[in-house]
Structure 1
Amino acid sequence: MIIGVGIDVAEIERFGAALERTPQLAERLFVGSELTLPSGERRGVASLAARFAAKEALAKALGAPGGLLWSDAEVWVEESGQPRLRVRGTVAARAAELGVRGWHVSLSHDAGVASAVVIAEG
């Protein structure tokens, strides 16, 4: 059963400018593993914008309650390249309250826009 669906888009250039303007923003929005590629290189701004869009979409799928912490949701990628969500803390509590048992996430970026869709499944 679908509990919630969220979608979000982020303008890549605008998101990159926000990260440059406020360097500590990346540490507030992402956990360490989201900031780097498996090779250890810093993840590009388009990829970070897609991960931010996923966190916004996740919040929408949960009904957009206040009090969710960005760092309580993590986008990670399986070896196959498929994105996944890992939740803890405030996000896990809200998901449990709604009966969420699984997540589906899709990320994309093209033509200057990053997008994400999140489905919460019960």
Structure 2
Amino acid sequence: MIFGIGIDIVATSRFQRFLDDDSAIIERLFTQAERDRCAGRKDSASCLAARFAAKEAFMKALGTGLRDGISWHDVEVVNDTLGKPGLSLSGRAGEMLREQALNIPLLSISHDGGHSVAMVVLEVL
């Protein structure tokens, strides 16, 4: 049974500005592993925008937004050996997943036309 669905779209240009300004917001929003994965890539702004969209989509699917003790670093976008994106949850985000008896989130990410979009589906175990 589906518990929640979240979707978010982000303009890549927003994250390009953060990168150009060497903004501290990048460190606040992303784990070191996420920053490392996107660093040095030709499409690093798109990479970061997609990860931000995934975090937002997860919080929408959970129905909490950024409150109840969840931090940006509690929701981390990871990739399997084939590059498929997924979410690794820690801290309060992981606790809420267990409290609600939810399965591992399903994540889809796409990029086009200067935008990144992510969709998350949460299912009850």
TM-score when normalising by structure 2: 0.87
Q: CA deviation at 1:102?
A: 1.5
Separation in 2, partners of 1:52, 1:112: 14
Alignment of 1:55-74 (within 5 A): 55-65=55-65, 66=67, 67-74=69-76
Cα deviation 1:67-104 (Å, max 9, x = unaligned):
31000011011111210110010111221222112111
Identity, in percent, stands at 39
- Please tell me whether residue 50 in structure 1 is matched to residue 50 in structure 2: yes
- Report the equivalent of 1:117: 119
The alignment covers a number of residue pairs equal to 120
AA aligned opposite 1:64: T
Contact 1:6 1:117 in 2 (8 A): yes
Alignment of 1:23-102 (within 5 A): 23-37=23-37, 41-43=39-41, 44-65=44-65, 66=67, 67-102=69-104
Given the two structures, how large is their TM-score scaled by the length of structure 1? 0.89
Q: Which runs of 5+ in 2 are unaligned?
A: none
- Report the RMSD for the aligned CA atoms in angstroms: 1.7
Deviation at 1:19, TM superposition (A): 4.3
- CA gap 1:77/1:20 in 2 versus in 1, 3 angstroms: same
